C-alpha cells in the first residue's frame, strides 16, 4: 500500500501520544484569494439548525491558496500547512481524519478537482473521504447549514454567483478572475477607481474626490506615483483593499465613486439573475422563493452606502421571492458541514449494502 506523504509540516505527529489522536474528526477548508481557513470538527451528533451548537476543535488560518493567483506549488504548501496547523491545535493527526472537504477558489473545471484530489490523496491515509469544491459551494453551505440548494453571491476580492437545485443541478456566473471581468468584486471596484484617478489626471475623465482620498490612503503625493504603486505589486487583494475609500467618497457625494458602486451593484445582481434563470430557482413563473446567501466584505452591511442591500433591491424587482441570508458561521464551517453530510450519506449507503 502506498505510504502517504510525510515531511517537516507533519513532524508534530511523531511526538503525539496515541491516546490523544484517537477521536474521529473532519476538516473543512475555505481557500480564497486573500486567506485560507481550516476548521477541525469532531464527528459527533449536532443540530444543523443551530449554528451556535456546532462543535469546533480548532481553527487555523493561512494565506492565499488560489493556484491561479500564487501558482500551484505555493497553493499546495498553504493548504497543507493550514491543515497540519488545525490538526496539531486539535490534538489530532491524519489517522483521526475521516473526511476532508476542500473548497477553494480557482476550482473551475473537473480537471481542477481531479488534480487537487490526487494531491490530497498523497497526503492522507486511504480511508479518508475527500471532496473538492469551488469555494462558493462552502459559502452557500455556511448559510444553508450544509444543504446545497439556492444561490450564493460572493463579493470579496473576487466575485462569483453559484447555485444548486434540490435535484443536484448547478450553475455559476462570473468568478473568472479580474482579467475576464469580475467587475462587481472588490478588485473590480478598486481597479475602476484607480482608472478614474488616472483619467482625471490626464484630462480624459471627470475630476473626482477619489484622487485625493486614494493618494492620501497610500501615502503618495501625485497621480503619477499611482502607476508605480499599482504595478510594483498588482496582487488582487492589495488592489481590492481600496474599496472602503471608494465607498467613503460615494457617501460624501462624489459622482464618479457613486457610479462605480452603482455599476458594481448591477453587475453583481446580473450574476445572481443569470444563475436563478438557468436553474429556474424561482419556478417557471419567476415568483417562487429561493435562499440567497451573501458572503464577502463588499456585501457587509456596515455603511450607509450598502452595496449588499442595493443588490437585493435590484434582484427583487425581477425575482421578488429572493430570501437573503447572511451566514452566522464562516465558509470554512460550511465546508466542514459538507464533509459531514457527504461522509454520513456515503456511510449510510455502504451500511445499507452490507
Per-residue pLDDT, 67 = 80
Contact (Cβ atoms closer than 8 angstroms) between residue 99 and residue 129: yes
The tens digit of pLDDT for each residue in 309-325 reads 999 999 999 999 999 99
Contact (Cβ atoms closer than 8 angstroms) between residue 323 and residue 15: no
The tens digit of pLDDT for each residue in 326-336 reads 999 999 999 99
pTM > 0.75: yes
At 8, the pLDDT band (50, 70, 90 cuts) reads confident
CA atoms within 13 A on the CB side of 237: 12
**What count of other Cβ atoms lies within 10 Å of the Cβ of residue 349?**
9
The tens digit of pLDDT for each residue in 262-302 reads 999 999 999 999 999 999 999 888 889 999 999 999 998 66
The tens digit of pLDDT for each residue in 202-221 reads 999 999 999 999 999 999 99
The tens digit of pLDDT for each residue in 74-114 reads 888 999 999 999 999 999 999 999 999 999 887 878 888 89
CA atoms within 13 A on the CB side of 119: 16
Per-residue pLDDT, 1 = 36
Per-residue pLDDT, 219 = 97
* Closest to 104 in 3D by CA, of 126, 83, 129, 128: 83
Q: Which domains does the chain have, with CATH numbers?
A: 12-145+329-353 (3.30.420.40), 178-325 (3.30.420.40)
Q: Order across the sheet with 58-62: list the strands.
A: 58-62, 36-42, 25-31, 97-104, 129-133
Provide the grid cell at 60.
487555523
Per-residue pLDDT, 169 = 94
Amino acid at each position: 500500500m502506498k505510504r502517504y506523504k510525510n515531511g517537516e509540516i507533519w513532524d508534530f505527529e511523531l511526538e503525539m501520544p496515541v491516546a490523544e489522536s484517537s477521536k474521529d474528526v473532519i476538516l473543512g477548508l475555505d481557500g480564497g484569494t486573500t486567506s485560507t481557513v481550516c476548521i477541525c470538527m469532531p464527528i459527533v451528533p449536532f443540530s444543523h439548525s443551530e449554528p451556535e451548537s456546532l462543535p469546533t476543535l480548532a481553527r487555523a488560518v493561512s494565506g492565499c491558496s488560489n493556484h491561479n493567483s500564487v501558482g500551484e506549488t505555493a497553493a499546495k504548501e498553504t493548504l497543507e500547512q493550514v491543515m497540519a496547523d488545525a490538526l496539531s491545535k486539535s490534538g489530532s493527526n491524519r489517522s483521526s481524519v475521516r473526511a476532508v472537504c476542500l473548497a477553494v477558489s480557482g476550482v473551475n473545471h473537473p480537471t481542477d478537482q481531479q488534480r487537487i484530489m490526487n494531491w490530497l490523496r498523497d497526503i492522507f491515509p486511504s480511508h479518508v473521504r475527500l471532496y473538492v469544491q469551488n469555494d462558493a459551494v462552502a459559502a452557500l453551505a455556511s448559510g444553508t447549514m450544509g444543504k446545497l440548494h439556492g444561490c450564493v453571491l460572493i463579493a470579496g476580492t473576487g466575485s462569483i454567483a453559484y447555485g444548486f437545485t434540490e435535484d443536484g443541478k448547478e450553475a455559476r456566473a462570473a468568478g473568472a478572475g479580474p482579467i475576464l471581468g469580475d467587475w462587481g468584486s472588490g478588485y473590480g471596484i478598486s481597479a475602476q477607481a484607480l482608472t478614474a484617478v488616472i483619467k482625471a489626471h490626464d484630462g480624459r475623465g471627470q475630476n473626482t474626490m477619489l484622487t485625493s482620498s486614494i493618494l492620501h490612503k497610500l501615502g503618495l503625493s501625485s497621480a503619477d506615483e499611482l502607476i508605480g504603486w499599482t504595478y510594483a505589486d498588482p496582487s488582487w487583494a492589495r488592489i481590492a483593499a481600496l474599496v472602503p475609500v471608494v465607498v467613503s467618497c460615494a457617501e460624501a457625494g462624489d459622482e464618479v465613486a457613486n457610479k462605480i458602486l452603482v455599476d458594481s451593484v448591477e453587475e453583481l445582481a446580473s450574476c445572481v439573475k443569470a444563475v436563478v434563470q438557468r436553474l429556474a430557482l424561482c419556478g417557471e413563473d419567476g415568483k417562487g422563493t429561493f435562499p440567497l446567501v451573501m458572503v464577502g466584505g463588499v456585501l457587509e452591511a456596515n455603511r450607509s452606502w450598502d452595496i449588499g442591500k442595493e443588490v437585493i433591491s435590484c434582484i427583487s424587482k425581477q425575482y421578488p421571492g429572493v430570501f437573503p441570508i447572511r451566514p452566522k458561521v464562516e465558509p470554512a464551517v460550511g465546508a466542514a458541514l459538507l464533509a459531514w453530510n457527504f461522509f454520513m450519506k456515503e456511510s449510510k449507503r455502504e451500511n445499507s449494502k452490507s
